[in-house]
C-alpha cells in the first residue's frame, strides 16, 4: 500500500498499514512463503474471520492495493476487497481520515489458516517460455501492463541492467486503459471493450498477465474478472515478470521482441 510516512500523515479510519513486500521480495522470488504472509497479517490483527478492505494512495488508487488483494486470494482467503479509487477518491468525497500511528492488536498465528490454495494463479517462467516459443501449453495469451514505450523498448527499463522489450507474442494492455477517475472501470462492457481494443479476449482460457515486477499486472487481473465475469482463479500471473525475463544472463533462452 502506501509508504509508511504517507499512512502516518493521512491514515483512513481504523485501517492498519500493511507493507506488501516486507523483506520477502527478492529478484528471484517475488511471492513470499505462506508462513511469512501469515506472520505479516496476524501482526496487524487479521484472522480467518476478518473482512479485509485494501486501499492505496496512488493516483486513482489503483496500484499496489490490487497486489495485496491478489495475494490474499492466492492463499485462499476470499473475504477481501479493494476500495476502488483508494485514498484519493475517499478524500475527494469528504469522508473521514485521521493522522498518527496506529497500534493494531496482533492475533495468534493459528487464527489465520490460509494456505496456497490456488497455485494455478501463477504461471511459471517455463510455461511462459512455452508460449513465447509457440509450443502450446497452459498460457495462450500474455498481457503486458507496462506503458507502451517500455513495452516496445523505446525507453530503458527503470531497473538497472535489465534489457528492453517484451516477451515474444505478448500484447500491450496498459493499466491506464482500464482506469477512469473513480479507479478501475467497473462496467463490464467498458472493461471488455478496453481489452478487445488491445486484441485480447478475456473470456478465452489461458490468459496470463505480467508487468515489470508483478504489481501492476494484478490490476489487469482484477479488470479481467470484471470484463469476463470469471473468478480470479481463471487468470494467471507471471509473477517474475519482465525483471526476470529481460535478465541479460537469460537472453538466449527468453525470446524477446520490441
pLDDT tens figures, 118-174: 989 999 999 999 999 999 999 999 999 999 999 999 999 988 888 999 999 999 999
**What pLDDT is recorded for position 81?**
92
Higher pLDDT, 181 or 231: 231
4-111: CATH homologous superfamily?
Rhodanese-like domain (3.40.250.10)
**What pLDDT is recorded for position 79?**
92
* H-state helical runs in 78-140: 86-92, 125-132
Catalytic annotation, pick one of 62, 211, 218, 225? 211
**What pLDDT is recorded for position 40?**
85
Q: Phi first, then psi: what are they for 99, rounded to 5°?
A: -115, 170
Same fold, 4-111 and 119-257: yes
Per-residue model confidence as pLDDT tens digits over 239-253: 888 888 998 888 889
**What pLDDT is recorded for position 30?**
60
Record the pTM: 0.89
Per-residue model confidence as pLDDT tens digits over 59-113: 877 888 999 899 999 999 999 999 999 989 999 999 998 888 878 899 999 999 8
Question: Which of 56, 63, 43, 254 lies closest to 165, judged by CA?
Answer: 254
Catalytic status, residue 208: no
**What pLDDT is recorded for position 31?**
77
Pair 13, 101: CB distance under 8 Å: no
Task: Determine the Cα–Cα distance for residues 196 and 8; give it in Å rounded to an integer.
Answer: 41
Distances (CA, A) of 201 to 70, 187, 210: 21, 16, 16
CATH of domain 119-257: 3.40.250.10
Per-residue model confidence as pLDDT tens digits over 3-31: 333 433 444 443 444 444 443 443 334 67
Q: Which three cell numbers stand for residue 96?
A: 473521514
**What pLDDT is recorded for position 254?**
92
Largest CA distance in the chain: 54
Q: Phi first, then psi: what are they for 180, rounded to 5°?
A: -135, -170
Give the percent of the chain with pLDDT over 90: 59
Pairing, β 179-180 against β 183-184: antiparallel
**What pLDDT is recorded for position 214?**
87
Question: Which of 237, 248, 228 lies closest to 144, judged by CA?
Answer: 237
What is the average per-residue pLDDT within 46-56?
92
Q: Where are the domains of the chain?
A: 4-111, 119-257
**What pLDDT is recorded for position 172?**
98
Distances (CA, A) of 52 to 9, 28, 44, 102: 22, 29, 11, 16
Amino acid at each position: 500500500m502506501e509508504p509508511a510516512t504517507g499512512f502516518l500523515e493521512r491514515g483512513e479510519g481504523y485501517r492498519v498499514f500493511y507493507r506488501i513486500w516486507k523483506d520477502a521480495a527478492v529478484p528471484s522470488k517475488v511471492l513470499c512463503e505462506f508462513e511469512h504472509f501469515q506472520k505479516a497479517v496476524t501482526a496487524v490483527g487479521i484472522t480467518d474471520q476478518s473482512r479485509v478492505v485494501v486501499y492505496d494512495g496512488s493516483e486513482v488508487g489503483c496500484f499496489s492495493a490490487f497486489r495485496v488483494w491478489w495475494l490474499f486470494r492466492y492463499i485462499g482467503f476470499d473475504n477481501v476487497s479493494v476500495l476502488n479509487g483508494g485514498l484519493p477518491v475517499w478524500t475527494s468525497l469528504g469522508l473521514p481520515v485521521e493522522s498518527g500511528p496506529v497500534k493494531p492488536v496482533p492475533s495468534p498465528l493459528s487464527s489465520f489458516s490460509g494456505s496456497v490454495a490456488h497455485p494455478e494463479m501463477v504461471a511459471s517462467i517455463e510455461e511462459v517460455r512455452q508460449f513465447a516459443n509457440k509450443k502450446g501449453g497452459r498460457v495462450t495469451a500474455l498481457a503486458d501492463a507496462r506503458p507502451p514505450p517500455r513495452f516496445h523498448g523505446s525507453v530503458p527499463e527503470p531497473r538497472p541492467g535489465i534489457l528492453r522489450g517484451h516477451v515474444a507474442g505478448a500484447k500491450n494492455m496498459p493499466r491506464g486503459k482500464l482506469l477512469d477517475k473513480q479507479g478501475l472501470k467497473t462496467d463490464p462492457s467498458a472493461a471488455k471493450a478496453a481489452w478487445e481494443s488491445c486484441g485480447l479476449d478475456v473470456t478465452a482460457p489461458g490468459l496470463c498477465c505480467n508487468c515489470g515486477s508483478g504489481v501492476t499486472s494484478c490490476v489487469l487481473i482484477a479488470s479481467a474478472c470484471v470484463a469476463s465475469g470469471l473468478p480470479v482463479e481463471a487468470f494467471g500471473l507471471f509473477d517474475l515478470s519482465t525483471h526476470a525475463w529481460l535478465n541479460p544472463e537469460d537472453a538466449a533462452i527468453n525470446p524477446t521482441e520490441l
